[in-house]
Amino acid sequence: MEERLDLFDELRNTRLEKLKKMESMGVNPYGCRFDRTHKAADILSLDLSEGEEKPRVSAAGRIMSLRRMGGAGFAHLQDDSGRIQIYSRKDQVDEKTFDIFKLLDLGDIIGVEGTVFTTRTGEITISIESLTVLAKSLRPLPIVKEKIQDDEKIIYDQFADKESRYRKRYVDLLVNPDVMEVFRKRSKIVSSMRRYLEGKGYLEVETPILQPLYGGAFARPFTTHHHRLDMTLYLRIADELYLKRLIVGGFEGVYEISKDFRNEGMDRDHNPEFTMMELYVAFEDYHFMMNLVEDMLASICRDVHGDLRIPYGNSHIDFTPPWKRLSYFEAIKKHTGMDLSGDDLNTLKKAAAEKGIQKEKMFTEGAILDAIFSQCVEPHLLQPTFIMDYPVEISPLARKHRNLSGVVERFEGYIMGREICNAFSELNDPLDQRERFENQAKLRDRGDEEAMVIDEDYLGAMEYGMPPMGGLGIGIDRLVMLLTDSASIRDVILFPQMRPEIDSSASEKH
């Protein structure tokens, strides 16, 4: 944090001098509380019709523009509702107030009190009578300049460098209003989802993030160490196995919205920590979950956008239920012309080769099918679509299909070629589960680091009797990407994971 100060010492020093001047005038440049009567947006919507007495207001915010001219000056104050212009005139305030006004910089946080009027150019403005400095800014903000012309917003010198924006999100939020909008929507999406689930009577719970054994998904975990217990702990990769234990315990509908951690690659769809919602409902199955997903996402979309058809990229997404439904093998057949259900390893290998698919880990039927599916089917699943009935090998926690062999009762929802949720009729047969875990153990022995580990406690819980249930997981970050038209997961995570900055000049100095 200190390391780059010398690079802009000069800019900082001039601000420090202004700060000292303020102090010598008896002004504390770092105020305590400030009473506001209005936010910026409230003032802009005041009734300023003729004949009315000019309303008195107080407001506070950060100075985002500053135009001083001799004996008067204008500035814009930004708070979380928007911007309001303020005006100070030498002969309308006392000398000290005007002197303080002259010491202000872009980025300073101040509170003002005064009357509201409209300027000749028609902008609603506070004519200030008093001014309180709440925080002097010492570093220059990369403030964006914008001009409205023919209803088009022209932006000059936008703070656009993605790296700086992600590393200093607080600056990004201040100067790029669209960014704040994305995170407001994110918050709305999550609260809308909670409201929906709460409305159904499900219980929100919290299960361990630090786990002695991880499970519930295929992934490499993060590992940590507890000193007092002197044991290895893992950061969870999924909530699943703990939530299902709670259904064994007698809760009939539980969900959790929280972070999972996976020690894997990073790209525009993956951040090492990400937010999941998982829901388990006793006595239900995957058909129930499919209906719930359609209904819940429509409800969220309506809450956030007021519409079920929303723009995405050059296209749009239509969340109107019901979604298209198609089985896994039907989907492959539709997009490759090949019926691969029941094919053995060699046949599948040939089929993959025919489609030019070459992946690293194609040891099993499941892995090959998965490769074909990702490459040939997923990119076509643009509008909301459910893919149902997955091969059993790639779904070790899902119940075998009640009528079809070789597949499980599982579906994934796809939107814009991206998986948005994953759900099953959960496996509640402890003997079948043990067998599936053992198959995973074999894969692990063959070098698959992401295969599941056997969880004896979980198997034990199942042996007490686990009701049948429907289970669902929704990746919140990806849902937010869709609902905010964002191209990268980093655009919907406030502080995405970044490599630390290395500053060689700093390490020499300190």
Partner RNA sequence: GAGGGUGUAGCUCAGCCGGUAGAGCAACGGCCUUUUAAGCCGUGGGUCCAGGGUUCGAUUCCCUGCACCCUCACCA
Interface with RNA in residues 363-382 (CB under 7 A): 371, 374-375, 378
Q: Taking Cα atoms as reference points, which of 219, 195, 202, 179 lies closest to residue 80?
A: 179
Complex with RNA: residue 262 or 282, whichever CB lies closer: 262
Complex with RNA: residue 297 or 461, whichever CB lies closer: 297
Query: Residue count at the site for RNA (CB under 7 A)?
Result: 78
One of 74, 196, 222, 251 touching RNA (CB under 7 A): 74
Q: Is position 129 an interface residue for RNA (rule: CB under 7 A)?
A: no
Q: Is position 80 an interface residue for RNA (rule: CB under 7 A)?
A: no
- The least CB distance from residue 340 to RNA, in Å, is 17
Q: Is position 350 an interface residue for RNA (rule: CB under 7 A)?
A: no
Q: Is position 123 an interface residue for RNA (rule: CB under 7 A)?
A: yes
- What residues between 184 and 213 interact with RNA by CB under 7 A? none
> Could you tell me which residues are beta bridge partners of residue 316?
311
Complex with RNA: residue 193 or 248, whichever CB lies closer: 193
Contact 164, 171 (CB under 8 A): yes
Q: Is position 18 an interface residue for RNA (rule: CB under 7 A)?
A: yes
Cα distance between residue 132 and residue 393, in whole Å: 67
Cα distance between residue 301 and residue 286, in whole Å: 22
Q: How many CB atoms lie within 10 A of CB 125?
A: 21
Q: Is position 269 an interface residue for RNA (rule: CB under 7 A)?
A: yes
Q: Is position 1 an interface residue for RNA (rule: CB under 7 A)?
A: no
Contacts of 136 (CB under 8 A, 6+ apart): 15, 18, 19, 22, 29, 30, 105, 108
Instruction: Report angle CA 497, 503, 506 to the nearest 5 degrees.
Output: 130
One of 59, 64, 77, 85 touching RNA (CB under 7 A): 85
Q: Tokens at residue 237, please?
A: 């990769």
DSSP label of 494: S
Q: Is position 446 an interface residue for RNA (rule: CB under 7 A)?
A: no
- The least CB distance from residue 421 to RNA, in Å, is 9
- The least CB distance from residue 498 to RNA, in Å, is 4
Q: How far apart are the first and last CA of the chain?
A: 12
Candidate segments 66-74, 221-229, 332-340, 429-437, binder of RNA by CB under 7 A: 66-74
- The least CB distance from residue 415 to RNA, in Å, is 12
One of 2, 10, 95, 178 touching RNA (CB under 7 A): 10
Cα distance between residue 472 and residue 437, in whole Å: 20
Complex with RNA: residue 384 or 466, whichever CB lies closer: 384
> Could you tell me which residues are beta bridge partners of residue 260?
274
Candidate segments 89-97, 179-187, 222-230, 331-339, binder of RNA by CB under 7 A: 89-97
Complex with RNA: residue 71 or 322, whichever CB lies closer: 71
Cα distance between residue 104 and residue 112, in whole Å: 13
- The least CB distance from residue 496 to RNA, in Å, is 7
Q: Is position 463 an interface residue for RNA (rule: CB under 7 A)?
A: no
Q: Taking Cα atoms as reference points, which of 472, 461, 469 lies closest to residue 281?
A: 469
Cα distance between residue 329 and residue 405, in whole Å: 13
- The least CB distance from residue 145 to RNA, in Å, is 4
- The least CB distance from residue 369 to RNA, in Å, is 12
- What residues between 229 and 268 interact with RNA by CB under 7 A? 262, 264-265, 267-268
Instruction: Dihedral sign for Cα 135, 136, 140, 142, please.
Output: positive
CB hemisphere CA count around 493 (13 angstroms): 24
- The least CB distance from residue 234 to RNA, in Å, is 15
- The least CB distance from residue 314 to RNA, in Å, is 14
Contacts of 493 (CB under 8 A, 6+ apart): 271, 274, 477
Rg (CA), the chain: 29
Candidate segments 40-48, 199-207, 241-249, 494-502, binder of RNA by CB under 7 A: 494-502
- The least CB distance from residue 440 to RNA, in Å, is 11
- What residues between 308 and 347 interact with RNA by CB under 7 A? none
Contact 63, 110 (CB under 8 A): yes
Contact 166, 268 (CB under 8 A): no
Helices (H), 200-344: 240-248, 286-305, 328-336
Cα distance between residue 377 and residue 330, in whole Å: 10
- What residues between 380 and 409 interact with RNA by CB under 7 A? none
Q: Is position 96 an interface residue for RNA (rule: CB under 7 A)?
A: no
One of 20, 54, 96, 162 touching RNA (CB under 7 A): 162
Q: Is position 270 an interface residue for RNA (rule: CB under 7 A)?
A: yes
Cα distance between residue 169 and residue 189, in whole Å: 21
One of 33, 47, 49, 70 touching RNA (CB under 7 A): 70
Q: Is position 510 an interface residue for RNA (rule: CB under 7 A)?
A: no
- What residues between 421 and 440 interact with RNA by CB under 7 A? 422
Q: Is position 177 an interface residue for RNA (rule: CB under 7 A)?
A: no
Q: Is position 283 an interface residue for RNA (rule: CB under 7 A)?
A: no
Q: Tokens at residue 501, please?
A: 């900055």
Q: Is position 11 an interface residue for RNA (rule: CB under 7 A)?
A: yes
Complex with RNA: residue 270 or 305, whichever CB lies closer: 270
E strands, 380-453, where?
Answer: 385-391, 407-415, 418-425
Task: Name the region of 230 (left: φ>0; alpha: ψ -120 to 50; beta: rest).
Answer: left
